[in-house]
């Protein structure tokens, strides 16, 4: 018993230290955003209460409009997540459950797309969307290149393959169509994959700044990540505390992603996929 208790205590200590090491940069970011005067020493992680203020948030909001940037980021990231989930689920279901000619070749192409870095496609995509389609300075132009995600297709396919085939056969015998089977049978069983895809897809466009910057130069349409990048490179020096203002912008940018993870993490559990099959 003593050996088991000692092992558990050691495990908790190691996990606790790892958690502190992981959370410290976030803590330092928040503390840095609240400091009136920058303290670059280790003591800056534990500042004097008299050195704390919210003026850094006011200063950066006056220059880049944090609320408008958050709305733009929400539209951009929300559109990408919507397209990724809808088309990822449909394509993954078709590749895993339905039988049709060319299914293997299509799946191979989906894997091949993941090998090609997005940076190699950025210039031709920009020319096509901005010049040929005339979608510069539009939300659609920002969303369209990310609307279908091959990683989500592969993820959903692998999860659908784990579902017992008897569930689909029983539903078809009862007269259910494929869309009804997908909605009522398959999706409830792959909820962890659905939430994982939402979270991973959200983080990418939420932090993306290069592609939206290429598509639009209108400050009123730029996501918050683009506005922060412009602030850091162009106007950070105009504030009384550039470091604090940059930290304040980073905190605002991080809050939605962290909140989404906290809400979803309780659902990242494995399902008993065979529970609906007798025997």
**pLDDT tens for each residue of 42-53:** 777 788 888 888
| The two structure tokens encoding residue 204 | 């990418």
Torsion of CA 28, 249, 136, 206, to 10 degrees: 40
Closest CA to 95 of 159, 180, 149: 159
User: Are residues 240 and 59 in contact, defined by beta-carbon separation less than 8 angstroms?
Assistant: yes
> To the nearest whole percent, how much of the chain has pLDDT over 70?
93
* Confidence check: pLDDT of 276 > 60: no
Q: Start-end ranges of CATH 1.10.3720.10 in the chain?
A: 65-221+251-267
**pLDDT tens for each residue of 157-211:** 988 988 888 888 888 888 888 888 888 888 888 888 888 888 888 888 888 888 8
**pLDDT tens for each residue of 70-109:** 899 999 999 999 999 999 999 999 999 888 888 889 899 8
User: Are residues 156 and 193 in contact, defined by beta-carbon separation less than 8 angstroms?
Assistant: yes
pTM: predicted TM-score of the whole model, two decimal places: 0.81
- At 155, the pLDDT band (50, 70, 90 cuts) reads confident
Looking at every residue in the chain, the average pLDDT score rounds to 84
- At 279, the pLDDT band (50, 70, 90 cuts) reads very low
Domain 65-221+251-267 matching CATH 3.40.30.10: the answer reads: no
For residue 25, CA distances in Å to 20, 21, 101, 260 come to 9, 8, 51, 19
* Confidence check: pLDDT of 261 > 80: yes
| Cα separation, 110 vs 148, whole angstroms | 11
* Confidence check: pLDDT of 273 > 60: no
* Confidence check: pLDDT of 28 > 50: yes
Task: Look at residue 267 in the predicted model and tell me its pLDDT.
Answer: 67
Instruction: Find the range with the poorest average confidence among 32-41, 129-138, 243-252.
Output: 32-41
What residue ranges in 37-171 does DSSP mark as E strands? none
Closest CA to 131 of 215, 232, 254: 215
């Amino acid at each position: 018993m003593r050996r088991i208790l000692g092992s558990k205590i050691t495990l908790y200590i190691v996990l606790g230290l790892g958690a502190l090491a992981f959370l410290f940069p976030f803590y330092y970011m928040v503390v840095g955003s609240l400091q009136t005067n920058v303290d670059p020493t280790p003591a800056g992680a534990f500042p004097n209460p008299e050195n704390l203020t919210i003026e850094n948030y006011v200063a950066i909001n006056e220059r880049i409009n944090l609320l408008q940037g958050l709305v733009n980021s929400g539209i951009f990231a929300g559109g990408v997540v919507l397209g990724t989930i809808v088309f990822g689920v449909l394509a993954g279901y078709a590749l895993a459950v339905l039988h049709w000619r060319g299914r293997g070749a299509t799946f191979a192409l989906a894997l091949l797309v993941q090998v090609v870095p997005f940076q190699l496609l950025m210039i031709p995509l920009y020319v096509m969307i901005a010049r040929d389609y005339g979608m510069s300075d539009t939300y659609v132009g920002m969303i369209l290149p990310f609307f279908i995600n091959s990683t989500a297709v592969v993820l959903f396919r692998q999860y659908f393959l784990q579902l017992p085939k008897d569930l689909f056969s029983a539903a078809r015998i009862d007269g259910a169509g494929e869309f009804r089977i997908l909605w009522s049978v398959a999706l409830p069983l792959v909820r962890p994959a659905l939430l994982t895809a939402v979270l991973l897809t959200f983080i990418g466009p939420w932090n993306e700044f290069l592609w939206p910057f290429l598509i639009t130069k209108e400050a009123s349409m730029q996501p918050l990540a683009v506005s922060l990048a412009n602030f850091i490179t162009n106007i950070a020096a105009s504030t009384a505390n550039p470091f604090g203002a940059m930290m304040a912008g980073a905190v605002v940018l991080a809050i939605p992603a962290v909140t989404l993870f906290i809400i979803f993490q309780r659902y990242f559990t494995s399902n008993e996929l065979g529970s609906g099959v007798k025997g």
